[in-house]
Chains A and B, each alone.
Chain A
Amino acid sequence: MSDQIKITIDGESIEVPKGTTILQAARMIGKNYPPAMCYYTPLKNTGGKCRVCLVKVAQASEANPRPMPKLVASCLTQAEHGMVVENESSPEVLEARNGVVEFLLINHPLDCPVCDQAGECDLQNLSFEHGRSETRYEEGRREFDKIDIGPFIQLHMTRCILCYRCVYLADQLTEKRVHGVINRGDVSEISTYIQNAIENDFSGNIIDVCPVGALTDKTYRFKQRVWFSKPFDAHRDCPKCTGKSVLWMKGQDIIRITSRKDKFGEVIDFICNECRFDHKEPHHWVIEGPRDMGEESVISANKYELPVVSPAVNVDAKFVSE
């Protein structure tokens, strides 16, 4: 039992193994956990940058019952025995979080209507929860020179929130990282120096870890709003990866292939570029069934459950017929 510690978050207590972060403990409790835009469990060293997961530590531990002087990043701060954390119950935390969301949005182009990420965008969800309805920012928004980073991936630097996830992924998953953050401050940008440089078997995963629409699938560009396509779990025998993917279907066509994500939006198994980009024929795959996107996702809307207002459609169907 000595390895288990007790932490209380927003009045709910849970016992977690020593070394667990506040964020992970909150996710174990399973409700009202802090959002995370840069932290990513499968990637080491991520976190601490976006500051949306800041929480208030009202009591540092049983041994040291004092509060911590500043809000702390819950993704990096380890839980201590007897720690008391305030997340959504603290007005100070909510104010800070709203502030960070405002900061993330002042230079964001807000081009959701033409962005392929819309509907599965963490920043969109975050703004819905914590954003303001009108901007207070009257100055010009930041722009960047467009660069082509390769045949499969589209970079929109204006949408980037500099979470560094794609940098850590390239370090940890691919043989050699050829992109990174150049420049400083609010003109920092993700870049490759050499155009068309990102080419390796697992590079496509930077699309999946990107929380916004900065890195999107070039083969899927402008094909469909994500909520009009239907996700299916499918797998294939792949010598490079597990082959466990999600096929995004429009009618009988596969319009996009991604890795599978858990309910926190984190990739379960990274897939290779061959699975992602080269097998867009349904007969290449063993289709397991519809993927459960969770009730709250806009992708589920009008698919699994019917609104009462349209009784003409067959309610028993798993998907709404087109």
Chain B
Amino acid sequence: MGRKILLEHIDVPGIQTLDVYRKMGGYNAVTKAIKNMSADEIVEEVKKSGLRGRGGAGFPTGMKWSFLDKKSDKPRYLVCNADESEPGTFKDRYLMEKLPHILIEGMICSSYALGANTSYIYVRGEMMYVIKILEKAIQEAYQAGFLGKNILGSDYSLDLYVQPGGGAYICGEETALLESLEGKRGNPRNKPPFPALWGLYGCPTVVNNVETIADVPWIINNGGEAYAGIGIGKSTGTKLISACGNINKPGVYEIELGISVEEFLNSDEYCGGIANGRKLKAVVAGGSSVPILPADLILTTANGEKRLMTYESLGDGGFVSGTMLGSGGFIVYDDQQCIVRNLWNFTRFYHHESCGQCSPCREGTGWMEKVLHRIENGHGKLSDIDLLVDVAKKIEGKTICPLGEAAAWPVASAIRHFRADFEEHVRNPDSCVKKHLHREMAHAH
């Protein structure tokens, strides 16, 4: 069994309530942080831990915290990004639903470390039941004196608010989230300035993912070095992976960074192998935005090394033969799945979610979707495949925010690794369309 940091007590009955959570050692980190540690000491521990942002980019959290402008006399804010909307990623929802107090404990410790007296959890609007769970937990924390004025008799005060989002994937981009939180249209801002200098209401702000913040209490309790002891190299600690697709045991798993992809895929502790005895065709390892990899490249790198579940190993080979750990949305495809149809579905999502502010993403995402729709429905041409590659290339790196890349990478990678599937769709449209009909009818029964 792998080490559990976040999900250790997930099966304890009543762990959603503050009483049970405290019995299992909950809120000890708040006491330790506020009574025995200075803010800078916590930042130092987080730096030592090597914790990296769990939202997808994997930026070192301690470094992000140290960029926060502490010289300005403006208030500072901590904002938790719980706008989890990436297709394939559903780890934060699970964590908040099952263990709301671990997030709140993390928010209190992190806010204290950053000197923020007001903090926000920006939750995806569709997850209203999660918002209710969080609000109840926050209420309990206020009653127990972990939130509000003079926490645990210290001179540190913190107010924590939950803000439902308005239903836009783009608000998971940190500056669009801040705009939305300010009550404006959720358009990403031009950077620089970064939120550490100019964030919420123009004040220094840190935006962190749910899982990142939930890791902080353990680091405070056990020390940064203990956390850094888990995992391999610069991929320290554990990571929640939401596994879905053609596997025997879909679900959210906490893994120690560094186990092999093969183990994660096949062991009974995690995915439990490919469903129905089928063969593995491809894996999207980190949520819909990261490049898709075919079976051989996801299990071993281009150099023939075993592929591990770490930021570095999954990234090995760059985008030619590698991918990213991303947000941990692990989507598995068996040999019956159609890569073209899947890609069309992804591009449809990005087309729908583009904010429309900058030209390449606004126009390019729709263009790619329409071309893929054509290919998928038997009206494609061979030149369309190169057109898609070219359009993706002209979006990538030209946009205000990373949604452009998120839309372009899946297209570029699917065509890079599965060009034959696209050509088959163009050459034999009838048989491809028929196959889908059969499969859909099988699903319907």
**CB-CB contacts of A41-73 with B at 8 A, as 1s and 0s?**
000000111111010000000000000001101
Asked whether, in the complex, the Cβ of A139 is within 8 Å of the Cβ of B370, the reply is yes
Residues of A contacting B358 in the complex (Cβ-Cβ under 8 angstroms) = 48-51
In the complex the two chains form, what is the Cα distance from A49 to B400 in whole Å?
Answer: 7
**CB-CB contacts of A25-54 with B at 8 A, as 1s and 0s?**
000000000000000000000011111101
* CB of B433 closer than 8 Å to a CB of A: no
* A interface: dominant SS: loop
Asked whether, in the complex, the Cβ of B397 is within 8 Å of the Cβ of A185, the reply is no
Asked whether, in the complex, the Cβ of A139 is within 8 Å of the Cβ of B371, the reply is yes
Q: Which residue of B lies closest to A95 (CB)?
A: B394
Which one of B81-89, B267-275, B346-354 is at the A interface? B346-354
Asked whether, in the complex, the Cβ of B370 is within 8 Å of the Cβ of A185, the reply is no
Number of interface residues of A (CB under 8 A): 34
Which one of B99-107, B252-260, B360-368 is at the A interface? B360-368
Asked whether, in the complex, the Cβ of A184 is within 8 Å of the Cβ of B355, the reply is yes
Asked whether, in the complex, the Cβ of B352 is within 8 Å of the Cβ of A51, the reply is no
Asked whether, in the complex, the Cβ of B356 is within 8 Å of the Cβ of A106, the reply is no
Number of A-B contacts (CB under 8 A): 90
In the complex the two chains form, what is the Cα distance from A50 to B359 in whole Å?
Answer: 5
Asked whether, in the complex, the Cβ of A185 is within 8 Å of the Cβ of B360, the reply is no
Asked whether, in the complex, the Cβ of B356 is within 8 Å of the Cβ of A185, the reply is yes
In the complex the two chains form, what is the Cα distance from A162 to B363 in whole Å?
Answer: 11
**CB-CB contacts of B299-331 with A at 8 A, as 1s and 0s?**
000000000000000000000000000000000
Given contacts A99-B394, A184-B354, A185-B353, contact A104 B387 (CB under 8 A): no
Of A49, A104, A164, most B-chain CB atoms within 10 Å: A49
* CB of A181 closer than 8 Å to a CB of B: yes
* CB of A100 closer than 8 Å to a CB of B: yes
Q: Output the least CB separation between A240 and chain B (Å).
A: 31
Asked whether, in the complex, the Cβ of A51 is within 8 Å of the Cβ of B185, the reply is no
Residues of B contacting A70 in the complex (Cβ-Cβ under 8 angstroms) = 397-398
Of B170, B365, B398, most A-chain CB atoms within 10 Å: B398
Residues of B contacting A50 in the complex (Cβ-Cβ under 8 angstroms) = 358-359
Q: Which residue of A lies closest to B405 (CB)?
A: A70
Pick from A76, A103, A139: contact of B359, CB under 8 Å: A103
Residues of A contacting B365 in the complex (Cβ-Cβ under 8 angstroms) = 185-186
Pick from B190, B355, B387: contact of A185, CB under 8 Å: B355
Residues of B contacting A95 in the complex (Cβ-Cβ under 8 angstroms) = 394
Asked whether, in the complex, the Cβ of B387 is within 8 Å of the Cβ of A136, the reply is yes
* CB of A102 closer than 8 Å to a CB of B: yes
* CB of B266 closer than 8 Å to a CB of A: no
Q: Which residue of B lies closest to A77 (CB)?
A: B192
Given contacts A51-B398, A99-B398, A139-B371, contact A104 B356 (CB under 8 A): no
Q: Which residue of B lies closest to A99 (CB)?
A: B394
Asked whether, in the complex, the Cβ of A186 is within 8 Å of the Cβ of B397, the reply is no
Given contacts A102-B394, A136-B387, A188-B356, contact A181 B363 (CB under 8 A): no
Asked whether, in the complex, the Cβ of B359 is within 8 Å of the Cβ of A100, the reply is yes
**CB-CB contacts of A168-186 with B at 8 A, as 1s and 0s?**
0000000000001101111
Given contacts A181-B185, A186-B351, A186-B366, contact A103 B394 (CB under 8 A): yes
Q: Output the least CB separation between B362 and chain A (Å).
A: 5
Q: Which residue of B lies closest to A48 (CB)?
A: B190
* CB of B168 closer than 8 Å to a CB of A: yes
**CB-CB contacts of B373-397 with A at 8 A, as 1s and 0s?**
0100000000000010000011001
Residues of A contacting B185 in the complex (Cβ-Cβ under 8 angstroms) = 180-181
Q: Output the least CB separation between A160 and chain B (Å).
A: 11
Asked whether, in the complex, the Cβ of B398 is within 8 Å of the Cβ of A186, the reply is no
Asked whether, in the complex, the Cβ of B363 is within 8 Å of the Cβ of A186, the reply is yes
In the complex the two chains form, what is the Cα distance from A73 to B360 in whole Å?
Answer: 13
In the complex the two chains form, what is the Cα distance from A22 to B355 in whole Å?
Answer: 26
Asked whether, in the complex, the Cβ of A185 is within 8 Å of the Cβ of B359, the reply is no
* CB of A264 closer than 8 Å to a CB of B: no
Asked whether, in the complex, the Cβ of A96 is within 8 Å of the Cβ of B351, the reply is no
* CB of A107 closer than 8 Å to a CB of B: yes
In the complex the two chains form, what is the Cα distance from A128 to B49 in whole Å?
Answer: 55
Q: Output the least CB separation between B373 and chain A (Å).
A: 9
Pick from A54, A139, A184: contact of B356, CB under 8 Å: A184
Residues of B contacting A106 in the complex (Cβ-Cβ under 8 angstroms) = 363, 367
Q: Output the least CB separation between A58 and chain B (Å).
A: 16
Asked whether, in the complex, the Cβ of B398 is within 8 Å of the Cβ of A100, the reply is yes
In the complex the two chains form, what is the Cα distance from A321 to B444 in whole Å?
Answer: 77
In the complex the two chains form, what is the Cα distance from A260 to B230 in whole Å?
Answer: 67
* CB of B248 closer than 8 Å to a CB of A: no
**CB-CB contacts of B171-189 with A at 8 A, as 1s and 0s?**
0000000000000010000
Asked whether, in the complex, the Cβ of B394 is within 8 Å of the Cβ of A184, the reply is no
In the complex the two chains form, what is the Cα distance from A71 to B404 in whole Å?
Answer: 14
* CB of A222 closer than 8 Å to a CB of B: no
Residues of B contacting A187 in the complex (Cβ-Cβ under 8 angstroms) = 356
Asked whether, in the complex, the Cβ of B370 is within 8 Å of the Cβ of A49, the reply is no
* CB of A161 closer than 8 Å to a CB of B: yes
Given contacts A96-B398, A99-B394, contact A49 B357 (CB under 8 A): yes
Residues of A contacting B337 in the complex (Cβ-Cβ under 8 angstroms) = none
* CB of B66 closer than 8 Å to a CB of A: no
Of B170, B190, B399, most A-chain CB atoms within 10 Å: B190
Q: Output the least CB separation between A80 and chain B (Å).
A: 12
Given contacts A49-B357, A100-B360, A104-B363, contact A185 B398 (CB under 8 A): no
Asked whether, in the complex, the Cβ of B360 is within 8 Å of the Cβ of A139, the reply is no
In the complex the two chains form, what is the Cα distance from A73 to B401 in whole Å?
Answer: 12
In the complex the two chains form, what is the Cα distance from A181 to B370 in whole Å?
Answer: 24
* CB of A137 closer than 8 Å to a CB of B: yes
Asked whether, in the complex, the Cβ of B356 is within 8 Å of the Cβ of A71, the reply is no
Q: Output the least CB separation between A46 and chain B (Å).
A: 11
Of A103, A106, A181, A187, most B-chain CB atoms within 10 Å: A103
Asked whether, in the complex, the Cβ of B362 is within 8 Å of the Cβ of A188, the reply is yes
Residues of A contacting B398 in the complex (Cβ-Cβ under 8 angstroms) = 51, 54, 70-71, 96, 99-100
In the complex the two chains form, what is the Cα distance from A108 to B300 in whole Å?
Answer: 46
Residues of B contacting A102 in the complex (Cβ-Cβ under 8 angstroms) = 394
Given contacts A186-B351, A188-B356, contact A137 B394 (CB under 8 A): no
* Apart from the given pairs A106-B363, A185-B366, 6 other A-B contacts in the complex at a CB distance below 8 Å: A49-B357, A99-B394, A103-B359, A106-B367, A139-B370, A185-B356
Chain A residues in the interface with B (C-beta under 8 A): 47-52, 54, 70-71, 73, 76, 95-96, 99-100, 102-104, 106-107, 136-137, 139, 161-162, 164, 180-181, 183-188
Chain B residues in the interface with A (C-beta under 8 A): 168, 170, 185, 190, 351-360, 362-367, 370-371, 374, 387, 393-394, 397-400
7 interchain residue pairs of minimum CB distance: A99-B394, A188-B356, A103-B363, A48-B190, A139-B370, A185-B354, A186-B366
Show 6 A/B contacts (Cβ-Cβ < 8 Å), sorted by A.
Answer: A49-B400, A51-B358, A103-B362, A139-B374, A186-B351, A186-B365
